[in-house]
Amino acid sequence: MSVRILALVGSLRAGSHNRQLAEAAAKHAPEGVEIAVHEGLAAIPFYNEDIDVEGNVPEAAAELRAAAAQADALLFFSPEYNGTMPAVLKNAIDWLSRPYGAGAISGKPVAVVGTAFGQYGGVWAQDDARKSVGIAGGHVVEGATLSIPGSVTRFAETHPSDDAEVVEGLRKVIEQVVESNPAA
């Protein structure tokens, strides 16, 4: 049986190390696991109940919800902006949390990982993302964490997919997510 994981990247920057981390996860996913990196978070308007109307949901938000609904689990990649998660990631969580109690991530296994320039690898942002996605209805997989510090220097000349320690950490998180998935 194949497990589908939707990856959401909280950085929109070209050459983002978190984007590269998501690419590494997709490239090195264990056999039977498919990781799809979602495109289009930049096109989703900020969550507003006035525009979240059945039959009239903005196309980019509807596409995100559909992709999450088709996934067995989600993997969030969060950098740290001013000590917390980026707005684009929080906005995605907000859209995925609705309709309240029955959002596209309700009950699905979720893990949050990431890299940042600082000495803690974005752990504050990732903790905030875990809190938010858990409140939004996702099942945050206990212990499925990976925070990689010093991204600017560590990945200056090496793509995360070529870093054996990073690949091993990603595989461990992915395996934990798969093991917690009742569909697996």
- In which band, very low, low, confident or very high, does the pLDDT at 120 lie, cut at 50, 70 and 90? confident
Residue 79 neighbours by CB under 8 Å, 6+ apart: 10, 11, 16, 17, 18, 86, 114, 115, 116, 122, 125, 151
Please provide the DSSP assignment of 156-183 as one string: SSS-GGG-HHHHHHHHHHHHHHHHT-TT
Residue 134 and residue 129: Cα distance in Å, rounded?
8
Q: For residue 112, what pLDDT is reported? A: 98
Give the tens place of pLDDT for each residue, 61-110.
Answer: 999 999 999 999 999 999 999 999 999 999 999 999 998 888 999 999 99
Locate 23 and state its tokens. Answer: 């690419």
pLDDT of 59 > 70? The answer is yes
> What is the number of other CB atoms lying within 10 angstroms of the CB of residue 55?
5
The CA-to-CA distance between both ends of the chain, in Å, stands at 7
Helix (H, G, I), strand (E, B) or coil at 112: strand
pLDDT at 100: 84
- Is 126 strand, coil or helix? helix
Distance CA 38, CA 118 (A): 26
For the chain, the structural domain boundaries read 3-179
Phi, psi of 168, rounded to the nearest 5 degrees: -65, -40
Pick the CATH number of 3-179 from 1.10.10.10, 3.40.50.300, 3.40.50.261, 3.40.50.360: 3.40.50.360
Examine the pLDDT at 156 and tell me if it is beyond 60.
Answer: yes
CB 135 within 8 A of CB 103: no
CA 80 to chain centre: 13
